Each structure stands twice: as structure tokens, then as C-alpha cells.
Structure 1
Amino acid sequence: MTGVLTLYRTSIGKKAVMAVTGLIGYGFVVAHMIGNLKIFEGSVGFNAYAEFLREVGYPLVPHTGLLWIARIVLLTAVILHVVSAIQLTRMGLVSRPMNYAQKKSVQASFASMTLRWGGIALLFFIIYHLLHFTIGVAHPDFVYGAAYENVVIGFQNPFIVLIYLVAISALAMHLYHGVWSMFQTLGLNNVRTNSLWRGLATLSAIALFVGFSLVPLSVMFGLVR
């Protein structure tokens, strides 16, 4: 345990934590998007899918047990990811001259900034999302077990749709830069492969943005009702 903590205090350890937690988050995001798209199967299909998620593992674990374990793992991964990113940034600033740090800050791209600030914003959005569609305290018409109806009613409000679209945009930018950075960290970037990895990162971000945006926009425009 002491060795693990010692490793975590180093920049290599923090980067390793960011890589592992990033992969956990990415896997969850892809699975969640695929599950969300089941809403186009209609009320029966989507509610059956939601019920399956609540019942999976029962009776070996309590009702919704595995689902909440997955949520806790995700939330923990996001917190560790954000904390490690902040600590790495501080370590970088301390180890560099002030004028160099200022120059790097000016040169930082919008995408790279989302890794720091977008990650924090996404953490708060995840909490709001759980309160909105899982616990229901942020959803005035929430009905437990009626996942399809909760989504349809929840996205009737254009302001709520806007919140989700902004969060989805931040997520897409965050994942674009995260995937790109992963290839750099693994040492896979070179002149011949840069375009390939950047293209994969771009396609991944676009696919996730479109996939997640389809549900709120389809509800708002009456395609899902």
C-alpha cells in the first residue's frame, strides 16, 4: 500500500491513474450511449432495458446493487481523474519558470483546457444527471421504474435540453483530447501515425456527441414521445 501511495505522488503515478480512470470513464460512456439509444425501440423496450439494469445480479446482490456499484466506481474514477489532473498541472507549474508557464498557458488549445475545467464541470453534471433521471429529486414528475416516460417528460423543457447539449459538447471535447493524449502517453505518436490517431480521436468524439444528442433532440422535436 505504501508503495502504491509513493508511486501516486510521482507524475508517472498520476498519469497512470488518469489513464486507468480515463479508460473506465470511456467504457462507461460508450455503454451508456448504446443503452440510451434503445429509447428508439419505444416505451416497452426501453423500460425493459432499464429494468434489466436494475435487476442484473439479483439475488446475489440486492436490487439495483450492481448498478449502484457501477455508478460509484464511475464517480470515484471521475474524482480521481480530476484530482490527478489538477495535481499534475500544479506540479508542472512549480517545476517550470513563471514566464514559461505563462507562455504555455497562452498557447493552450481550447480542447486541452477542457481536460482541466471540462472535467470538473462534467463531475458536477454527472451528479446532476443522477439527481435528474436516477434519484429523481431534480425531476418534478419523476416516476420510479418509468424510465422512458421520465426521459420524455424531462426533455420537454428546452432549458434542460440545452444543459445536456452543453454537457455533451464538453464531454466530446474532453474525450477527443483525452484519446489523443492517450496515444501520446503510450508513445504511439510519430509523423506517420499522427493523422491516424487524431482522426480516430475526432471520429470518437463526433460519434459520442451525435449518439448522446439524439435522445434529447428527438424528444424536443417530437420524434420520441
Structure 2
Amino acid sequence: MDASPTALFDSYEQDFKQLVQSIDAKLSEGKDAGGEDRKAALRRVEMEMEEADELVSQLDIEISSIPQNVRQHYHTRLRDAKSSLSRCKTSLKDARSSLARSDLLSSSKPYSSDDPYGSSSDRTRLLSGTQLLENGTKRLEESQRMALETESHGAEILTNLRGQREQIENSRDTLLRADIAIDRASNTLKQMVRRMYQQRAITYSIIAVLIILIVVIVWEKLSG
């Protein structure tokens, strides 16, 4: 198993590309399908879209463990993945809108040639359905905007965490260097103290010898 820092990123990216191909294929097939088949295809696309979204989040997380000297290249690949995911979301939204319009039109009753809009009740239901469709589209766009904002905040938090980790690592290196400097200073002080004691012992020895010599000279003079 590849244990390099970029192995997981490459694996997630490969899985994501396969999902994107599957989503594109299902959306393309769904255009020609009718009714329930089209709805089933969209449900499968929605499940794959959630999985693709999770893979992009994993790619964003794995970026932090990639060495700095090659990280920029992987940032570019991450942006490409996010762009592909955004395109798929837009295609899915268009497919949902198209399906909703088809359902609405298919549920409308036939109208008479005298009234091109059908009866008042049919026209009211059509307007109401159109309004519901517009409201649903707005809610979907709002949900997508909130998801993008959440994703942006998450990326910002990860960036801050990476910065904090680098600061902690720098502080740890500084503490290690300070610890080494303190050890060296302590050894130097010990050597200075040892030399001081040695010099003091030598001084005391010289004084003792001088005293003995003085005593001997005085003794010889007194005895002579």
C-alpha cells in the first residue's frame, strides 16, 4: 500500500472523477427517460452527489498533510474538483426543474379551443404550481449558497488550524534551541566553578607554604 503523503489525495480524487462520470451519464440518460424512470435516475444522482461532496471535503482535508513544495499543484487539482462538483450541482438543479415542469404540464387537464388557458381552476393550479416551482428553486439556490458559505468557512478554519500548527511547531523548535543553549550555559558555569575551586586551593597552598617558610626562618634566627 502506498504510504506517501499524496496517496490518499490521489485515491480520493480518482474516486471523485469516477463519480462525476457516473453522474454525468445518469443525467444524460435521464433526459430521455420518462416519468418514474427519470425520477429514479435523479434519486441515484442525488445519492452519488452526496458521496462526491464528501470526497471533495476529504480532498480539502488531505491538502494539509501534503508537503509545501508540491501543495500548490494539489490546490489546483482541488479547485478543479470543486468546479466539477459545482457544475454537477447546477446540472442536477436544472434536471429537477425540468422534471417539475414536466410533471406540472402532464397533470394539467386538456383545455377547450375556446379558452387557450383552460378553465379558471386549471389556470389557477398552473399559476400556483409555477409559483411553487419558483419558490422551490429559490430555496434550492439558497441552500446551495449556504452550503458554499459553509464550505468556505470550513476551508478558512482549516487554514487557520494549519497556521496555528505551524506556529506551535516553530515555538517547539525555539524551545528546543533554548533548552540546548541553557544546557551549554550550565556546563560552562560548572566548569567556571570547578576552576574557581582549583584556583582557591592553589592560593591556600601557596599561603600555607609561605607561612611555614616564615616560621622556619624565624625559628632559625631565634635559635642562632
Q: TM-score band (shorter)? A: 0.3 to 0.5
Structure with higher Rg: it is 2
In proportion to residue count, which structure has more helix?
Answer: 2
- RCO higher in structure (CA 8 A, sep ≥6): 1
Q: TM-score, normalised by structure 1?
A: 0.34
Q: TM-score, normalised by structure 2?
A: 0.34
